[in-house]
């Protein structure tokens, strides 16, 4: 085993994984990033975190956790459901007294406002477990009230998911996730990563997406209604909207007419603004009485 230490005075991650027997579990969507130079690059993509509490999901053996602390995060709250990783994370806690808190639990069941009580500003930074990445993202995008409890998100996804998040209308990747993400945030791909950057290498490429919340998205609508409208529209994306939106209301044509949208158009043709306008009109309900 290597006797080397790294920039933070801790052993290389490969040694940590070997010592604690931390083979990545497919059932937990784990793919570990072991290159500290790479994890530091991801941490730097979050900007100046010297005054931020950083929430990390699925730290595993702590590659990104260590990078966030090296790059100056005021403190880090790491949520890990794999008990095997806790001993390795405890070593980082000892190296950075008072700056790292490990929360042993499931991110899908976490009360975020309780977890970060009193912390401001908050950045979410994570190499998300692939099997729950989209679910977590939608949960954060649908946060109420808005502006949300976080000031920025820097998140790793499969490249295909990242492309769906930033996709433009009239492209194959454009869909419900694109609309929700782009309505409430400015999202861009910050870093692309090949499969060989991970241990074990996944079968797909990955990408880090940088999200900056839009304080007051326009036009104003309930995001829960926007989610319903997009679910109906993209649930049958090949159909014209007058047909696909019948899942939302039997008076789909009236709704579309009120929104100034031709009933023959399809979901992939509508801009984020047009979807938000439909959601706002649907909530008002005035079109039903015209």
Q: Are 22 and 60 in contact (CB under 8 A)?
A: yes
Which ranges of 96-155 does DSSP label H, i.e. alpha helix?
A: 112-115, 133-141
Mean pLDDT, rounded, of the chain? 92
Q: Look at residue 19 and give its three-state secondary structure.
A: helix
Q: Is 63 annotated as a binding residue?
A: no
Q: Look at residue 113 and give its three-state secondary structure.
A: helix
Q: Is 106 annotated as a binding residue?
A: yes
Instruction: Give the mean model confidence (pLDDT) for residues 125-137.
Output: 91
Confidence at 43, pLDDT banded by 50, 70, 90 = very high
The rounded distance, in Å, linking the Cα atoms of 146 and 119 is 17
Q: Is 139 annotated as a binding residue?
A: no
Strand bridging mode 100-104 / 75-80:
parallel
As a CATH number, domain 13-213 is: 3.40.50.150
CATH 3.40.50.170 fits 223-289, yes or no: no
Considering the entire predicted model, what is its pTM? Answer: 0.92
Of all residues in the chain, what percent carry a pLDDT higher than 70? 94
Identify the pLDDT of residue 1.
Answer: 38
Identify the pLDDT of residue 252.
Answer: 94
* Residue 81: closest CA among 106, 56, 111: 106
Q: Is 58 annotated as a binding residue?
A: yes
Lowest mean per-residue pLDDT among 93-97, 200-204, 216-220, 232-236: 200-204
Identify the pLDDT of residue 4.
Answer: 59
Confidence at 235, pLDDT banded by 50, 70, 90 = very high
The structural domains of the chain, with segments of one domain joined by +, span 13-213, 223-289
Q: Is 80 annotated as a binding residue?
A: yes
Residue 144 clears pLDDT 70, i.e. is over it = yes
Residue 287 clears pLDDT 60, i.e. is over it = no
For 95-129, the pLDDT digits (tens) are 999 999 999 999 999 999 999 998 999 999 999 88
- The token pair at 239 is 């159909």
- The token pair at 28 is 């937990």
For 255-280, the pLDDT digits (tens) are 999 999 999 999 999 999 999 999 99
Lowest mean per-residue pLDDT among 7-16, 84-93, 106-115, 164-173: 7-16
Q: What angle do CA 170, 254, 180 make, to 5 degrees?
A: 40
Q: Is 62 annotated as a binding residue?
A: no
Confidence at 286, pLDDT banded by 50, 70, 90 = low
The rounded distance, in Å, linking the Cα atoms of 220 and 237 is 24
For 151-164, the pLDDT digits (tens) are 999 999 999 999 99
Q: Are 171 and 268 in contact (CB under 8 A)?
A: yes
Identify the pLDDT of residue 2.
Answer: 43
Identify the pLDDT of residue 243.
Answer: 96
- Non-local (6+) Cβ contacts of 214 within 8 A are 183, 184, 185, 186
* Residue in the block written with tokens 């939106």: 245
Identify the pLDDT of residue 31.
Answer: 75
Number of neighbouring beta carbons within 10 Å of residue 270: 25
């Amino acid at each position: 085993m290597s006797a080397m230490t790294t920039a933070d005075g801790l052993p290389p991650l490969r040694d940590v994984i070997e010592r604690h027997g931390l083979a990545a579990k497919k059932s937990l969507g784990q793919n570990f990033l072991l290159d500290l130079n790479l994890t530091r690059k991801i941490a730097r993509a979050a900007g100046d975190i010297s005054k931020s509490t950083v929430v990390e999901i699925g730290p595993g053996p702590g590659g990104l956790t260590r990078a966030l602390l090296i790059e100056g995060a005021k403190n880090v709250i790491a949520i890990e459901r794999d008990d095997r990783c806790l001993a390795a994370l405890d070593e980082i806690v000892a190296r950075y007294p008072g700056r790292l808190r490990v929360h042993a639990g499931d991110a899908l069941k976490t009360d975020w406002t309780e977890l970060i009580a009193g912390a401001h500003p908050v950045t979410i930074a994570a190499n998300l477990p692939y099997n729950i990445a989209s679910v977590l993202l939608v949960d954060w995008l649908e946060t109420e009230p808005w502006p949300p409890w976080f000031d920025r998100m820097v998140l790793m996804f499969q490249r295909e998911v990242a492309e769906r998040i930033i996709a433009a209308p009239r492209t194959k990747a454009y869909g419900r996730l694109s609309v929700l993400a782009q309505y409430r945030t400015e999202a861009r791909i910050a870093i692309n990563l090949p499969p060989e950057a991970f241990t074990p290498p996944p079968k797909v490429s990955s990408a880090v997406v940088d999200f900056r919340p839009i304080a007051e998205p326009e036009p104003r609508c309930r995001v829960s209604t926007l989610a319903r409208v997009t679910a109906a529209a993209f649930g049958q994306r090949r159909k014209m909207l007058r047909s696909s939106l019948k899942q939302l209301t039997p008076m789909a044509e009236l709704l579309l007419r009120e929104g100034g949208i031709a009933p023959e158009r399809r979901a992939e043709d509508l801009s984020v603004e047009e979807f938000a306008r439909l959601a706002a009109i649907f909530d008002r309900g005035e079109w039903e009485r015209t």
